[in-house]
C-alpha cells in the first residue's frame, strides 16, 4: 500500500482495504488532508495564544500533534504559512443576503460579520496581524485581501441588487458604497474593540447605511 508521508495523527489503525490502492509515484510525498487541517487549526490557536512574533513552527507542530517535518512539507516558513491561511479567508466568501430589501440585506450581513469579527480567536488575531502588517508588506497585502475582498463581493452584490430594484441610483459610486458598508462595523469591532454593541446597533447601522447609499 502507499505509505503516508505524514504518518497518523492519532486513533486506531485503519482497516485493510479489500481493493489494493494505486501506488504513488516513487518519491512522491502523500500529504494527508486531516493533517493539513490540524496544522491550520493550530496556527489560529497559536496566533491567538502567543501572537505572530512569538509563534513558532515548533509550537504549531506541537499543538497540531504532528512533527515539524509535516509543517515544512507544506510551508517554507511561518510567514508563508500565515500568508496562505489569511489569504484563504478572502476566497471563502460570505453568503449574499437576498431578502428583497436593501436595509434587510445589510442587517443580515452585519449580523454575520459582527459574529465573525467578535469571535474570541478572530478578535485577538486580527489586531496582532495588523501590527505585523505595518512592518511586513507581504502580510499587509494578505490582510488587505482577506479583510477587504472577503466582503467586497457580497457588498457589491447587495448594492447591485438594490440598484436593480430602484433603491439605489444606477450611477452610484461603487468605492464609496463599499466603504460605507464595510467601514463602520469594522471600526467598532476591530479598531476600538468595543466589548458589546448597544441594543439594536446593527439595525440602526443598517438603516443609516441604507439611507447613505440611497443618497449617493
Instruction: Tell me, yes or no, whether 94 lies in a domain.
Output: yes
Query: Are the C-beta atoms of 193 and 127 separated by less than 8 Å?
Result: yes
Using the CB atoms, write b or e for 84-93: b if 16+ within 10 Å. ebbeebbeee
Domain assignment present for residue 81? The answer is no
Least confident piece of the model among 27-36, 107-116, 165-174: 27-36
Same domain, 122 and 196: yes
Q: Mention every residue, 6+ apart, whose C-beta is less than 8 A from residue 97.
A: 104, 105, 106, 108, 109, 154, 158
CATH of the domain at 17: 1.10.10.60
C-alpha cell at 33: 488532508
Mean pLDDT over residues 108-137, rounded? 80
Residues 96 and 69 in one domain: no
- Domain membership of residue 161 (yes or no) is yes
Q: Who's near 106: CB < 8 A, 6+ residues apart?
A: 97, 158, 181, 205, 206, 209, 210
Which of 41, 74, 107 lies at the terminal end of a domain, its last residue? 74
Q: What is the pLDDT of residue 11?
A: 47
Q: Give me the pLDDT at residue 142, please.
A: 78
State the pLDDT at residue 163. 95
- Do 111 and 203 belong together in one domain? yes
Q: What digits encode the pLDDT tens for the residues 159-192?
A: 999 999 999 998 999 999 989 998 898 888 777 8
User: Do 68 and 100 belong to one domain?
Assistant: no
If asked whether residues 60 and 100 sit together in one domain, one would say no
79 occurs within a structural domain: no
The pLDDT of residue 17 is 44
Q: Is 84 inside any structural domain?
A: no
Split into its structural domains, the chain has a count of 2
Confirm whether 82 is domain-assigned.
Answer: no
- Going by pLDDT thresholds of 50, 70 and 90, the confidence category of residue 153 is confident
- For residue 186, tell me if it sits in a domain: yes
Same domain, 111 and 23: no
> Which of 122, 193, 182, 125 minimizes the C-alpha distance to 150?
182
Residue 201 counted as domain residue: yes
Q: Which of the two residues, 168 and 24, has the higher pLDDT score?
A: 168
Domain of 190, CATH number, reads 1.10.357.10
Q: How much of the chain exceeds pLDDT 90, in percent? A: 33
**Residue 215: band (very low, low, confident or very high) from pLDDT cuts 50, 70, 90:** very high
DSSP conformation letters of the chain: -PPPSS---SSSPPPPPSSPPPPPPTT-----HHHHHHHHHHHHHHHHHHHHHH--HHHHHHHHTS-HHHHHTT-SSHHHHHHHHHHHHHHH--PPP-SS-HHHHHHHHHHHHHHHHTSHHHHHHHHHHHHHHTT-HHHHHHHHIIIIIHHHHHHHHHHHHHHHHTSS-TT--HHHHHHHHHHHHHIIIIIS--SSPPTTHHHHHHHHHHHHHHT-
Instruction: Give the structural domain span for 1.
Output: 1-74
pLDDT tens-digit map of 53-77: 899 999 999 999 999 999 999 998 8
29 lies in the same domain as 102 = no
Say if residue 105 is in the same domain as residue 204. Answer: yes
Q: Are residues 57 and 124 in the same domain?
A: no
**Residue that is last in its domain, among 74, 99, 128:** 74
Q: What is the pLDDT of residue 44?
A: 86
Whether residue 193 is predicted with pLDDT greater than 90 in this model: the reply is: no
Amino acid at each position: 500500500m502507499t505509505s503516508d508521508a505524514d504518518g497518523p495523527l492519532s486513533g486506531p489503525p485503519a482497516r485493510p482495504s479489500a481493493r489494493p490502492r494505486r501506488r504513488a509515484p516513487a518519491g512522491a510525498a502523500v500529504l494527508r488532508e486531516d493533517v493539513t487541517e490540524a496544522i491550520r487549526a493550530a496556527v489560529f490557536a497559536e496566533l491567538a495564544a502567543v501572537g505572530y512574533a512569538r509563534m513558532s513552527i515548533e509550537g504549531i507542530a506541537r499543538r497540531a500533534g504532528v512533527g515539524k517535518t509535516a509543517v515544512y512539507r507544506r510551508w517554507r516558513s511561518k510567514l508563508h504559512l500565515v500568508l496562505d491561511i489569511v489569504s484563504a479567508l478572502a476566497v471563502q466568501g460570505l453568503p449574499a443576503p437576498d431578502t428583497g430589501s436593501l436595509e434587510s440585506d445589510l442587517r443580515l450581513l452585519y449580523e454575520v460579520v459582527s459574529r465573525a469579527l467578535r469571535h474570541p480567536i478572530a478578535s485577538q488575531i486580527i489586531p496582532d496581524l495588523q501590527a505585523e502588517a505595518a512592518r511586513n508588506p507581504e502580510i499587509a497585502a494578505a490582510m488587505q485581501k482577506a479583510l477587504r475582498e472577503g466582503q467586497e463581493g457580497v457588498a457589491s452584490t447587495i448594492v447591485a441588487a438594490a440598484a436593480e430594484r430602484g433603491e439605489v441610483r444606477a450611477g452610484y459610486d461603487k468605492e464609496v458604497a463599499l466603504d460605507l458598508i464595510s467601514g463602520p462595523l469594522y471600526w467598532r469591532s476591530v479598531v476600538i474593540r468595543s466589548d458589546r454593541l448597544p441594543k439594536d446597533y446593527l439595525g440602526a447601522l443598517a438603516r443609516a447605511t441604507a439611507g447613505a447609499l440611497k443618497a449617493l
